[in-house]
Chains A and B, each alone.
Chain A
Amino acid sequence: MSPPPRDTAAVQPRSETPKPFAAVAKVFSPLTGAVAVFGEHVLLLSRAVTWLFRRPLRIRLFFDQMEFVGVGSLPIIMLVGFFTGAVTALQAILALSLFQQQRYVGFGVGISLARELAPVFTALMITARAGSGMATELASMRITEQVDALTTFAVNPVQFLVTPRLVASAVMLPVMSMVFNVVGLVGVYVVSIISYHIDLGQVLALFRHGVDPVDYFQGLIKAFFFGITMATCACYQGLSVRGGAKEVGLATTRAVVSTSVTVLVLDYFLIQVMNVVFPYGGT
């Protein structure tokens, strides 16, 4: 009886293909490779979730990661959030002024922020900052055998390293996305009310009329899934690294690129799902 696979071997070698199928396999190898990598991501994610419900629960690790993902990203999220709100408001005002309807700026930008800009930009910014950090940290832990060292103390590396990062990202991305929303609206306020002297009462009234809590809720759900995506991609790339310093750098690059692409693709599908779950009931 063969023993169960250990979690340290994040990437198991695949068995050889019999000869007649070798040529076919070669043609499809990019595809099968991609499917295999996707499968390994799913496997890592499911292991991380499973280990969440097993003892011991190391609360400190979770809070450390939340601080790293959330609090650490606060300045950059506020900066990007403010300017995203301000720039979008600026463009919206230019477009709306064609129809003399600048007062719709709060409504338009508010809904864009809530549904798209806040979750997506938050995910991209936190990926650049914390996702890359996760991948680098785990990759250098892997190549300096710290991951193996964990195993020698009967500590499961997935439970110790991946689960806290996963939970912290899934919790903190929605929180940061909400911060992005609020600061973005401050940006809108500064541009439209202070710079362009649009009537605050009208902007607010239209904002309240048009932007629904459901819009924010949708954004938060997206941010939650983006957080899971980021932690999974970053930890996978970090843990599957082999070799030296160069590979650490490459793993970080791959983590950022794969997360960013996945976030944007996933966004499309999440919108499709949510359009069904929450039929658009705008104004």
Chain B
Amino acid sequence: MAEDLQKRDERWQLRIRDLNKSFGSQHVLRGVNLDIERGKINIIIGGSGQGKSVLMKHLMGLLAPDSGHIYVDGQDIIGLSDVAIAKIQRKFGMVFQYAALFDSLNVVENIAFPLLERYRLPKKEVLERVRELLDRLDLKLPGIEQKFPGELSGGMRKRVGLARALIDRPEILLYDEPTTGLDPIATQNVDKMIRRTADDFSVTSVVISHDMASTFRIADRIAMLYEGVIVANGTRTEIMAAPHPVLKEFVETSGAVALAGAAS
């Protein structure tokens, strides 16, 4: 089995095995096992404080687990040196909950930041790549390039955050609760954005969410994290039929079944 995991798998890009993490006396992750499908939108759902964000930070190597393994294309990233981790991190892009744009930099500088930090590219080339990406993401507002994050709306900021995550052409995009704090229309726009990004840039998407309605709209695969373990994992239909009581409650209270039914 171990040899299996250390080989690049065509279907599963990320494989998490027995991941454990405690903070003091709090045992947050209690043996998480999960596979993330290549090129698909994988959504991890769960209530607040169930360890979703902690799990996501592990994926990028921002946190080190107490035990367990994470295989990215067959390479275990746990226990690697900082330099090796930095190399793996280039495969990832992360879209933060509130965009986490750098306040002191304008839109172009924010988007160009990963390129300028990672490579010694000429400024002109960087600017070209930023502009091309702004076009592809429909971020065409007069003067937007020179605007600072504080001058942008929440939705705009999210898209600039996405642009920054995409600029280095990642293979895997992580979204941390992308629809939190947005109105229904903005939520739908973000859903579309995630869908389109997954299709246009052919990236593997991992989304952390507690928004069931939008989860059922866009997910290819859904996993539920509850009390530090994955209690259900599968496609939309599999999840709707899953017997786990907490998952059922989650699905029912969100009215997502009705929505999904209406959609099909």
Residues of A participating in the B interface, judged by any CB pair closer than 8 Å: 1-6, 8-9, 13-14, 16, 140-141, 144-146, 148-149, 151-155
Contact = CB atoms under 8 A, between A and B. Distances in A.
Contacts of B101: 146, 149
Contacts of A145: 96-98, 100
B117 interface: yes
Category for how many chain B residues contact A: 20 to 34
Given A3-B78, A146-B100, A149-B102, A154 B63 contact: no
Contacts of B103: 140-141, 146
A8 B94 contact: no
Contact of B118 (A2, A4, A153): A153
A185 B143 CA distance: 50
A14 B96 contact: no
Nearest to A140: B103
Contacts of B57: 148
Contacts of A151: 62
B60 interface: yes
A32 to B, nearest CB: 15
Q: Give 6 nearest A-B pairs by CB, closest first.
A: A154-B86, A145-B100, A149-B100, A13-B24, A3-B64, A153-B114
Contacts of B153: none
A153 B117 contact: yes
B64 A14 contact: no
B25 interface: yes
Interface of A is mostly: loop
A237 B23 CA distance: 20
B80 interface: yes
Nearest to A4: B82
Contacts of B80: 3
B92 interface: yes
Nearest to A151: B62
B113 interface: yes
A154 B118 contact: yes
Given A3-B64, A9-B63, A154 B117 contact: yes
A151 B24 CA distance: 23
Contacts of B78: 3
B77 to A, nearest CB: 9
Contacts of B93: 152
B145 to A, nearest CB: 20
Interface in B75-133: 78-82, 85-86, 89-90, 92-94, 96-98, 100-103, 113-114, 117-118
A4 B84 CA distance: 13
A145 B78 CA distance: 23
Nearest to A160: B117
Nearest to A156: B82
A149 B101 CA distance: 8
10 contacts: A2-B79, A3-B79, A145-B97, A145-B100, A146-B100, A146-B101, A148-B62, A153-B113, A154-B90, A154-B117
B118 A149 contact: no
Contacts of B86: 154
Given A16-B24, A152-B93, A154-B85, 14 more contacts: A3-B64, A3-B79, A3-B80, A4-B81, A13-B22, A145-B96, A145-B100, A149-B96, A151-B62, A153-B113, A153-B114, A153-B117, A154-B86, A154-B118
Contacts of A148: 57, 62, 96, 100
Contacts of B64: 2-3, 5-6
Nearest to B67: A2
Contacts of B23: 13
B24 A154 contact: no
A190 B27 CA distance: 67
Most interface-central of B25, B81, B97, B103 (chain A CB within 10 A): B103
A247 to B, nearest CB: 16
B96 A6 contact: no
A247 B96 CA distance: 21
A18 to B, nearest CB: 14
B207 to A, nearest CB: 16
Contacts of B114: 153
